[in-house]
Amino acid sequence: MKSPDKPREAPTFDSVAEFFAQALAIEVEASERYSELADQMEVHNNHTIADIFRKMASIEGLHRDEIRRRAGATLAGGRPASFSWLAPEGPEAIDFGELHYKMTPRQALMLARHNEERAVKYFEAIAAAANDPEIKAFALTMAEDERHHVVMVDQWLDKYDPDDPDWAEDLDPPVISE
Ligand code: ZN
């Protein structure tokens, strides 16, 4: 999927090992951030959203494990990669410790959405730049999965009136497939 507005942060890779290292960094970050968001939502006594984030943490954890499995020994040869979740409004990496008691469920969902979208664009860019057909195919699969996560978060955001301070208090349990 070639596009002229390819994100500037999109990397190209000299080797399969580098690709896997980057993909792994994206999924490790997502899994850890979702776990932290879940903890934060429990501070807010919002167990519904906490459960959603736990579910997302485990889905991203499965991605992480899948990448590790596929990468196998190549990971050891790759340079270390990093990926940090960013706040929707700025280019700074997020200090989660500072946000602990401040973040509302809606802000948490917006944060998740922003970074799911970044993951989509990142994997799409990887696929577009890849010469190796195996990398291209795998990156496209990952992009599709991440796109599905954006939809899942959107579905949650759509359920609530943004102006209602109690917007998340009285939900039926969510049904999340996958
Ligand atoms: Zn995701």
* Residue of higher predicted confidence among 79 and 108: 108
Q: What is the CA radius of gyration of the chain?
A: 17
Q: Is 148 contained in some domain?
A: yes
Look up the pTM and report it.
0.77
Q: Is 30 contained in some domain?
A: yes
* Mean pLDDT, all residues of the chain: 79
* Residue of higher predicted confidence among 122 and 171: 122
Q: Is 4 contained in some domain?
A: no
Per the structure, the complete domain to which residue 93 belongs is given by 16-72+88-157
Q: Is 23 contained in some domain?
A: yes
Q: Is 83 contained in some domain?
A: no
Q: What is the mean pLDDT of residues 72-77?
A: 74
Whether pLDDT at 172 is above 50: no
Residue 43 Cα to ligand 1 midpoint, Å, equals 23
Residue 60 Cα to ligand 1 midpoint, Å, equals 6
pLDDT on residue 168? 43
Number of domains in the chain: 1
Q: Is 9 contained in some domain?
A: no
Ion ligand 1 contact residues with beta carbon within 5 A: 116, 146, 149
Q: Is 172 contained in some domain?
A: no
Q: Model confidence over 134-168: pLDDT tens digits? A: 888 989 999 999 999 999 999 988 876 554 454 44
- Domain harbouring 32, CATH code: 1.20.1260.10
Residue 120 Cα to ligand 1 midpoint, Å, equals 8
Residue 157 Cα to ligand 1 midpoint, Å, equals 16
Residue 30 Cα to ligand 1 midpoint, Å, equals 7
Cα(first)–Cα(last) distance of the chain, in Å?
Answer: 25
Q: Is 11 contained in some domain?
A: no
Q: Model confidence over 121-133: pLDDT tens digits? A: 999 988 988 888 8
DSSP 3-state of 108: helix
- Residues 6 or more apart from 111 whose CB is under 8 A from it? 37, 85, 87, 88, 94, 103
The pair of structure tokens assigned to 78 is 């790759």
* Residue of higher predicted confidence among 137 and 102: 137
Q: Model confidence over 19-66: pLDDT tens digits? A: 888 889 999 999 999 999 898 888 878 888 899 899 999 999 999 999
